[in-house]
Structure 1
Amino acid sequence: MTASVSDFVIERLREWGIRRVFGYPGDGIGAFDGALGAAERADRGLQYVRPTHEEACSLMATAHAKFTGEVGVCIATSSPGGFHMLNGLYDAKMDNQPVVAIVGQQPTTSLGTFVQQESNLERTFADVAVYVQTVVTPAQAQAVLDTAFRTARLRLGPAVVILPHDVQAMDMPEMQVPSASIARSSAVAASTSITPPAADIARAAEIINSGSRVSFLVGHGAGGATDEILEAASLCGAGIVTALRGKHVIPSEVPHHTQQLGLLGSLPSTEQMSDCDTLVMLGTNYPYSEFLPPSGQARALQIDLKPEHMGLRYPTELNLWGDVRATLAALIPHLTRTEDLSWQKQVAESMESWEQEMEAQAMLTVEDGVNPRRVFHELNKRLPPRAIVTADAGTTADWYGHHIRLREGMTGDLSGRLATMLGAMPYATAAKFAFPERTVVCTIGDGAFQMLGMNELITVKRHLESWVENPQFIVVVLHNDDLTQVSWEMRTQDADPLWPTAQDVESVDYAGWAELLGFTGLRVTEDSEVEEAMETAFAHRGVTLIDARTSRSVPPLPPRISREFAKNTGIALLQEDPARSEVVRDSAKALLAEGVERARKTMHIDHERDLEEDQEH
């Protein structure tokens, strides 16, 4: 039987190394769906995963790209399905991930006649896609699909291939005949192992070698360059800060790795930016420039594969367009080893104190629910080797940044620049499909869980039998009946009190929902129950949902509180904020714990200084 365009596209996906696609069917993509079904029956090595919504499809494809380094593929029907996928595709665009979306369309003969579900999909996807094209003839299909894959990989973003329904079923010619009007393409990706010119490498070495307080700011774009970063940092005595999405690039065991920067970062990272004389940005488009050094304080250089991101957040004197790993490999032989490791030692000692402060914050008892910091603190202590952790937008991202430490071999991620809610569940599910042998933990707020997270537990139920090697999948829901991050942003950014009409989340028995699906549901209502719940979850070889009734008033305090932060919060609370008494009480406790730990650090430093002076005398 002659192969159709759909048959060809499926085989071409396999030639591009694709073994799993995330899709949702519909009549606009119907003939392609039929070919996918035939491919499954013929066991042609392409797994079709159908979650509960097209938005989950595109978020799963983006997560697959993030966790594996491969191209993620999502499939949907025409207008409504394609529109639903937009959020996940924007997540791919804003976090620089290669994704190919295959979207159905009404037959070519009906385009422009206002038939049902017809829309201008090329115009719709023009903003989000690095490449978008409609296939209108079989001879065009090969070149369009190959270009989509190559462009997604090279430009690090989503590409969209639109397949009209009639074209999907057309016969595919067996070979492309040479012609001026037909492109003959290959399923071969372009290399991205780019190294800057030797003169730029030498100049970068001069900048780093001249510094005495060097800090590396490492992002997700430095993935795969862990060894090179650590070697370069060892040579120049650098401290290391990671962007939130770069958290996994540098193991938490590295003593001079001070984790994240900014509102959900650490004080040692803030201190590095305040005191460094050289800033090296590696694969990061860190968006909060107010937390970087003042202009003129530090000499700076940036290495990135996205040239439009370079020199954008800080006035760098050198921008190196290149792959971080390849560029550092070329740079390392030119770095001079420093014997003065006082800066790196100072950074490490500051991080030790910060970890003590984070533990003190986690162990505080609050009166209106469980301390959410305690949940993440106890979770972190029990993460098994090679665990994968996902976090959602909102306060889960704060606690993930403050308390989760990804040891060597572990990884984690979340929606970064887009910071979309609900991403944690499709991210976790995609991670489990990619690495069924590893434990996956999803951390998510109740607002996000009500969006699509509850639905995606159905996807987990449907596919659980394929994870027999290690069926452990843990969902931690922070259940406080409030859109907490937004509530705090209203207070700290706009000096507005909490607005229950907009912020309240209807309370749901999330553990009961898990039990209804045949999973283990655990309810945590007091701090004293957190440890046992975590022990039970990690001992269970299956799916566990921890319904943690957390406080909404525990403040996600930044490492340094600005005058504006304090002033706006005070004004909001004076306007009869419904949670005023709880917020004041829990904020006071947090500030007191913070002050005690920092006072202890100061006393320790003073004691060390006294000992040194005694020795000198």
Structure 2
Amino acid sequence: MGRTVAQTLVDSLTGLGVRQVFGVVGDALNPITDAIRRTDDIEWIGCRHEEAAAFAAGAQAQLTGRLAVCMGTVGPGSVHLLNGLYDAAKSHAPVLAITGQVPLSEVGTDYFQEVDNDLLFRDVAAFRATVASPGQFPGLLEMAVRTATARHTVSVLTIPGDVGGQELPDERQPRFSLAEHSTRPDEPDLRRAVDVLDASGKVTLLVGRGAREARGDVLALAERLAAPMVLTLKAKEGFEDDNPYEVGQTGLIGNPAAAGAMDAADTLLLLGTDFPYRDWYPQGKKVIQVDTVAEHIGRRVPVDVGLVGDVGPTVRALLGQLSGDRDTGHLSKARDSYATWHEAQERLTAPAHDKTLIGRVRSAFDNRDHRIRPEALAAAVDRAAADDAVFTSDTGMATVWLSRFVRMRGGRRLLGSYNLGSMANAMPQALGAQLLDRDRQVVAFCGDGGLSMLLGDLMTIRTYRLPVKLVVFDNQRLGMVKLEQEQAGLPEFGTELDNPDFAAVATALGITGIRVTETENLQEAVDKAFALDGPVLLDVLTNPDEIAVPAQPTTTQGWGFAIAKIKETVRSVER
């Protein structure tokens, strides 16, 4: 008896090193999930929502660089994968989604739950195809896997419900022949870059996630150029620890030192980043950009020299040609500015901050209910978490507090929806990360809005006994939207959340829940949460009016915020 399409798929995935598949079972997937049931080397992770399954798979792919897999059955089951797959695609994560389809004889008849998957996933998937016969399957699977892994993106392979259980017509099995590659720019382009750098008195590096594997080379380049190093959020995990050139991040979550280092530079050198915020690039600078993707060169800021290649070999080639010592004044000024800002931020995290004179004045404006400062919560978690913890963060204010108060020291890793900017990503990404290594600490910085959006998959954490630490910034607001409205001069509207006691919800689901309402109890509660072995949800009531000042606040933003606060005060009086 020959092997079925479903069994061939499962055997191929185990051969590729896939150890878990995330999804929700359903009719068209039944042959595949049954093959998983009969295979020892792969585990089915039954999620409560396919979006969570896609986020979990994307997290695994980002952490390992290897293929991860999620599945959704016919119609709505596949549709639910979309948001998590968009996040994987924009995060350059190699993910294979297996989707179900109605029986072949019914395709095109508007059958119950029929959705055109090839059309549905056209924008998100670099490869998508529907298996129309068992004989097609090995070749289509090869193409799907090669596309996802070679291009670090999403592939979608649709298998109709009556195809998965059919036998292959011959002994043809999928063969993948996957290979790594490394590139460096041509010599004339390198020479042009060297000439620009040698002629520049002040150079600032903007370093992204794409430079992570070349940390040593990038640090050597910063030393040679006496250049301050501005980090994107995704570069925190590779470059924040033990780095004498780092000056933090720019952009809305950044700091004045990083913005100043970019403004003062003669030349900006972009390494492995596609930092998208055009308004945060200074004008009138020479710009050199290194990226593996040619079409990324110059799409955010005009570039004088584009170098298409991997960061490591490109930087090593530059180091071999650059001239000698540089004046360190630019670097020293940026580092001093960063240290001053960082010390001021640290003072905000002290439990007794609001009892000081400055703290009392500040509280009268932005924390009249004396809620817990989110800065203090983030700093407490930073102190308690392991040096090799994996952190995930929800889009919004949870990411702001993590970016400013959690240091990616040691072997810490960081995940978030930092390109797509989706809500609800932190908890399911933590789920996927924890399944890679049940003994490694995984910490999710959850916004209350994000957590409640996919709240059902707390049950997945309980079912698989995953020791995830869920830290909930419970400000009863969609905090980032509130801040955006106020900076535009609008009173907040539609952002208030009528939350339950999340700790009680967790307890009802069989997860340890801890609720914190007073600052003096914060550190003890955090330490307790991290000392427990199993999953813990730490529900901390934080100040909804906390202000996250951007790196370069504008006069317009300041007036907008003041006007919004006046409108909010008047509205509260009218009530």
Shorter-chain TM range is over 0.9
Match of 1:476 in 2: 471
Is the aligned partner of 1:186 residue 2:175? yes
**1:280 match: secondary structure:** strand
| Offset of residue 204 of structure 1 | 2.4
Distance 1:278 1:408, change over 3 A: farther
Match of 1:457 in 2: 458
| Offset of residue 446 of structure 1 | 0.9
Distance 1:16 1:208, change over 3 A: farther
Q: Which runs of 4+ in 1 moved over 4 A?
A: 577-581
Q: How does 1:469-548 map to 2 (within 5 A)?
A: 471=467, 473-493=468-488, 495-499=489-493, 502-548=494-540
Distance 1:505 1:103, change over 3 A: same
Distance 1:80 1:66, change over 3 A: same
Gaps of 5+ in 2: 355-366
**1:475 match: secondary structure:** strand
Match of 1:149 in 2: 145
Contact 2:58 2:94 in 1 (8 A): yes
Q: How does 1:58-457 map to 2 (within 5 A)?
A: 58-176=54-172, 186-294=175-283, 296=284, 298-363=285-350, 364-365=353-354, 366-368=367-369, 369-452=371-454, 454-457=455-458
Distance 2:340 2:240 in 1: 18
2:464 partner letter: H
Superposition TM-score, scaled by structure 2 size: 0.93
Distance 2:193 2:385 in 1: 38
Distance 1:576 1:106, change over 3 A: same
Match of 1:589 in 2: none
| Offset of residue 346 of structure 1 | 2.1
Distance 1:137 1:91, change over 3 A: same
Distance 1:516 1:579, change over 3 A: farther
| Offset of residue 263 of structure 1 | 0.9
Contact 1:248 1:410 in 2 (8 A): yes
Distance 1:194 1:423 in 2: 33
Distance 2:499 2:392 in 1: 23
| Offset of residue 106 of structure 1 | 0.8
| Offset of residue 580 of structure 1 | 7.6
Contact 1:216 1:281 in 2 (8 A): yes
- Percent identical among aligned pairs is 32
Is the aligned partner of 1:568 residue 2:557? no
**1:35 match: secondary structure:** helix
Distance 1:324 1:281 in 2: 10
| Offset of residue 578 of structure 1 | 7.6
Match of 1:588 in 2: none
Per-residue deviation, residues 54-80 of structure 1 (Å, max 9, x unmatched)? 000111111111111112211110210
Distance 2:315 2:438 in 1: 33
Distance 2:207 2:31 in 1: 45
Distance 1:207 1:139, change over 3 A: farther
How many residue pairs are counted as aligned between the two chains? 558
Distance 1:62 1:5 in 2: 25
Distance 1:254 1:89, change over 3 A: same
**2:164 match: secondary structure:** helix
Per-residue deviation, residues 490-515 of structure 1 (Å, max 9, x unmatched)? 1113x21112xx22211211111222
**1:503 match: secondary structure:** coil
| Offset of residue 370 of structure 1 | 0.7
Distance 2:198 2:170 in 1: 59
Distance 1:218 1:450, change over 3 A: same
Match of 1:56 in 2: 52
Distance 1:287 1:344 in 2: 25
Distance 1:47 1:208, change over 3 A: farther
Distance 1:222 1:579, change over 3 A: farther
| Offset of residue 339 of structure 1 | 4.5
Contact 2:197 2:267 in 1 (8 A): yes
Distance 1:136 1:413, change over 3 A: same
Distance 1:72 1:61 in 2: 5
Contact 2:12 2:174 in 1 (8 A): no
